[in-house]
Amino acid sequence: MNTQPLRVGIGGPVGSGKTALTLALCQALRDRYNLAVVTNDIYTQEDAQFLVRNEALAPERIIGVETGGCPHTAIREDASINLEAVEQLNRRFPGLDLIIVESGGDNLSATFSPELSDLTIYVIDVSAGDKLPRKGGPGICKSDLLVINKIDLAPMVGASLEVMDRDARKMRGERPFVFSNQKVGQGLEEIISFIEKQGMLSAA
């Protein structure tokens, strides 16, 4: 039996929809799994407070980490503050199945330390333009799952989903990606299926 929870890292640029995805995952999975969340913000606990306000989970299951400085460092080079939050949740809730670690908004070079995350999901959004997938970077090219979010905005910003699809395939090779619109839950089931399959989760 797996004694350590699956740790899923959710990263991506500011405003791409990481917290909305974290909320949606909590709402969909909290009745199936023993679940907790760590959020990262530079100077506040805004994302953690958003999740608490929206009743994603019981407040004691959500820890907000204030990283200071560069959010990239707290999930990669020196992940100690996040590792301590994960350990705190493990002590608080023995038998956790899943911990979601949401990074602070960062650039395309941000990646999670393997010490902190077992699976990585990288979220970008259509409003940044259809050229974003071909810009590459570790998040776009190497994450376990790429989520291209806010597809409902494509017509308004003149972005081509066909171009994004083509470029994502080119940059990622065999690695999967999902188009999503978290406002209406589009793509959520695919993301959940990926987490359950790749993370070998089985509901109680």
> Annotated binding site for GTP, which residues?
12-19
Residue 199 to residue 204: CA distance in whole angstroms = 15
Q: Which of 14, 201, 4 is nearest to 83 (CA)?
A: 4
Structure tokens at 82: 């996040």
Residues 6+ apart with CB under 8 A from 21: 10, 121, 123, 147, 149, 180, 182, 191
Residues 6+ apart with CB under 8 A from 64: 38, 39, 41, 44, 45, 46, 47, 48, 49
Residue 147 to residue 21: CA distance in whole angstroms = 10
Residue 159 to residue 151: CA distance in whole angstroms = 9
Structure tokens at 89: 């949740």
Annotation: binding site? 12-19
61 backbone dihedrals φ, ψ, rounded to 5°: -90, 0
